[in-house]
Chain A
């Protein structure tokens, strides 16, 4: 039981490149979230999903896209990477509702140069 797995752990991108951050969970949790955490700052919600086929915007969705075709996977897509997207990205899940503890992955550290 791996919990929440994020890949890659580290990545350096050039401005204008695109990439997909992967998040997979094996806990059969319905709710999944993507956050970004800038250095020394708090967590900002990018997108979230309450189940397969359902996604919604969070606080800072611009420049990102998501999809949720299965319960297990919730990839985050960056199009036209910009330096402002340099951050640590965390994926998290909860079992049934937002009223339960969130389980976080180990994060992806992304640098845009």
Chain B
């Protein structure tokens, strides 16, 4: 099955600086890579996702890059703000046409991001 590794486990950055979180996946058949943000005591919420037919996607201060050859993808947050403090999870899922019956999402272990005012 798919295995997703996420680094770092904790990250502290000064407000206004950039933050980068990296994930690697094991199965080359994975083709959908979402990122979730979880604030303390709250539910995870999708912030951005990318599919394997594109290399980069951007939404305001957030961007995700994907390197299929190296099997890794990264979350980039620019001009960080205090409200960006949260735990971020990457995830990967296999194309169901290759893995019928394996209809699930594999999550990374999370990165606790702290923005220092």
Q: Residues of A at under 8 Å CB distance from B?
A: 31, 33, 41-43, 45, 48, 50, 56, 58, 90, 97-102, 104-107
Contacts and interface: CB of A to CB of B under 8 A. Distances in A.
B43 A42 contact: no
B103 A98 contact: yes
B28 to A, nearest CB: 16
Nearest to B107: A43
A59 to B, nearest CB: 9
A33 B43 CA distance: 14
Contacts, number: 54
Contact of A98 (B36, B43, B93): B93
Interface of B: 31-32, 34, 36, 42-46, 49, 51, 89, 93-96, 101, 103-105, 107-110
Given A48-B104, A97-B96, A98-B103, A106 B43 contact: yes
A43 B36 CA distance: 11
Contacts of A104: 43-45
Contacts of B94: 98
B103 A31 contact: yes
Contacts of A58: 104
A86 to B, nearest CB: 16
Contacts of B31: 99
B34 A102 contact: yes
Given A98-B96, A99-B96, A105-B43, A41 B103 contact: no
Contacts of B104: 33, 45, 48, 58, 98
Top 9 closest pairs, chain A to chain B, by CB = A104-B43, A101-B46, A42-B109, A99-B32, A98-B103, A98-B93, A43-B107, A42-B110, A50-B103
Contacts of A98: 32, 93-94, 96, 103-105
A76 B94 CA distance: 25
A48 B108 CA distance: 18
A98 to B, nearest CB: 5
A109 B49 CA distance: 28
Contacts of B36: 102
